[in-house]
Structure 1
């Protein structure tokens, strides 16, 4: 996303930019108004209040369009090859489909084989919706060898194969699949996960702890604690360390500085605050997945309630009532 202002062509797939990332949409609009820039969109048809606010070439919602572009059989294929700085933005509405693996594999291979990836230019972008996901990926917080994905964990819990599930601030999953499991929830505001939990470990909000975040551009940022956590609430790393010790697995972290040193050991970008670190391009693994024929659809996504804090905010609730709901009713009335 760092090079939007220098790009001259962008292909957006399965991303509702005005809702998912308004600032990215604003930057693309600014680039379009300067001229010499084209944007094509493959995805579900967007309602008027969520559609792009600048000219866009809508390519429809058929996944076969992606195949044609990659195979060089679509008019957009030549636009990508003839552009100087071309970009792909792949949204989570696409990646959370059943064929998400196939999409990222095929598009990643396409990016590697074309000038989308160059020594001084990386035009392959994934638009995440969760604030902590980029940092989690940077630190390697992914299933390890023989590990399970989120969906695998949920399915195994639903059958009783997994007996205990630990939710670390996880509130955007299908909780009906956890009815047979013993659920531990670590988080704040008593959100969705807390309501199904057998044990709740109260954590601290972002203003109640010193924390590290990574934004969409890969810029590492740190925040400073402004308030003390209420009651029994603690910083997340302290909860995990205390739990590990009670289980006889003492972790080598006595201070926040110890945690941050380990983060830097895992990935050096955590040492470079407020900088965009250039990371080497890694080819996507070929798992021989296949694209589905199911049409793309924009996901239901409430702009004003995207996390536990905003879902408990009277102000955000009023925004839903006074802004979103009237628009929804007008769309129902006028089709």
Structure 2
């Protein structure tokens, strides 16, 4: 190596800085050994083409056939030169990773699913993998391939679907004729023309969604809770403004009237609200009713139903047009 570097520095000073890298690569491929050319290195400049070079080094170069070893932990390791066919099969059916400095291919349910999606079958994929190894496939890998990676599915016929928040869907599925398809999706055999009136009759808010052209189902309306009667004398139901004032003594009279009017009229109003973490935000809400100590409302900021504690509302202003 030192002799080659010294010669290059004398005869080709412009390329001297690259000599070290070139010499190391030449040693790796077997062209040089120390400061001398190997048999392969001497044959390289004398050969006219690839075939001539192959014949010249046939006596000293030992071919390394590609062989894949499969393990019970659903991994595969390649010994020898990776062939195009082996690379294709492994890339389709397994995930390539580097573990402990070595490249391995790991089979997972997701990777096997992907292989079947690319056109492999439960017969062709094991046959192709067996062709890469001298022995058979481990039992664990055969089980994984035998599952076809698809899993079990359930097929249901539905007339329409309701897509909403989890809490809303949990209430919808209590209505006869609706089933839960996913945490945020309920299905029914009824057509939408039949399902929408039924949901409205159950107290849900069903409104048109201009963005999708469909309808949006919101939480059912909650009626105000009347105070209990005492001593056989019918209790006088407090006004909404009185309820708001009892739950928030700090709001101005104008703010109380604005919020009470929005609650009674189910109209939009803008509030400044402090959450449980002490963070303040301004929101436009559409009140829907009371749920115990909470004011239920549609939050335009979150585009979802939310519960608000009246005592955490710091200001109330008319909604922006």
- Which has the higher Rg, Structure 1 or Structure 2? 2
Higher strand share: 2
Q: TM-score, normalised by structure 2?
A: 0.19
Q: TM-score, normalised by structure 1?
A: 0.19
